[in-house]
Structure 1
Amino acid sequence: MFIRIVKMRFHEDKIEAFLNNFEEVKQHIRNFEGNQFLELYQDKNDNRIFFTYSYWENEAALEKYRNSTLFNEVWSYTKTLFSDKPEAWSVDRLVTLN
C-alpha cells in the first residue's frame, strides 16, 4: 500500500468552491483504479487548511492517477483556489492500533 497526504491552504472566500468541487469529484477519485481509500480533513485551528489522505495500491497506481485526465481536471481547478503552495507527503504506515 502507498499512502499519500496532501496539505492545501485556500483563500477563505474559495473554501466553499473547493468543497463543492470535492463533493462532485470525490467518488471519481475514490473509484479510480488503484485507489483504496480517500478522506478529506479540515484543520480545527485554521479553516483554510485541508488535507487529503489516500491509500493507493502502489506508487504506480498513484502515478497513473496523477497522469490521468481526471487528475488534470481536478488539480487544474483546485490550484486556482490556493492561497499558498500545496505540500505532499508519501508515507509508509509503521503501526496501526485499533
Structure 2
Amino acid sequence: MEFKATEVPAFLSNFENVKNKIRSFPGCRFLELYRDKNDDTIFFTYSRWEMEQDLENYRKSALFKEVWAQTKPKFRIKAEAWSVDTLYREM
C-alpha cells in the first residue's frame, strides 16, 4: 500500500486501533504490518488465515468495510493484494 505522505500518521493510528480486532476475527492466525526500508509511505500487511474461506468472510465483514473506508482514501496509488501458498516454513 502506498500512501500520501500526509496520510501516513492517520493510517498508522487507525491500524493501531483495529489490529487486535482483525487478529481476533475468526480464522485469523497472524497479522503484521511492515514498512518499506527506503520509502516511508509504503506499507505491507501480512496475514495468515486458517482457511481461505476465513479470509473471504473477513473481506465481506462490517469490520473490513470499516477498515477499508478509513484506509482506501489515503492511498497515493491503487493498492495491490496477493494470496499465496507457503512452500517452505522454518520451524
> How many residues were matched structurally?
91
Which segments of structure 1 move beyond 6 Å, counting only runs of 4 or more? none
Match 2:87 to one of 69, 94, 97: 94
The match for 2:49 is 56
2:59 corresponds to 1:36: no
Higher share of residues assigned strand: 1
**Aligned-residue offset at 1:9:** 0.4
| RMSD of Structure 2 on Structure 1 (CA) | 0.7
Unmatched 5+ residue regions in structure 2?
none
Question: TM-score, normalised to structure 2's length?
Answer: 0.97
The match for 2:3 is 10
The CA distance in 1 between the partners of 2:89 and 2:18, in whole Å, is: 29
**Aligned-residue offset at 1:97:** 2.4
The structure whose RCO (Cα within 8 Å, separation 6+) is larger is 1
The match for 1:4 is none
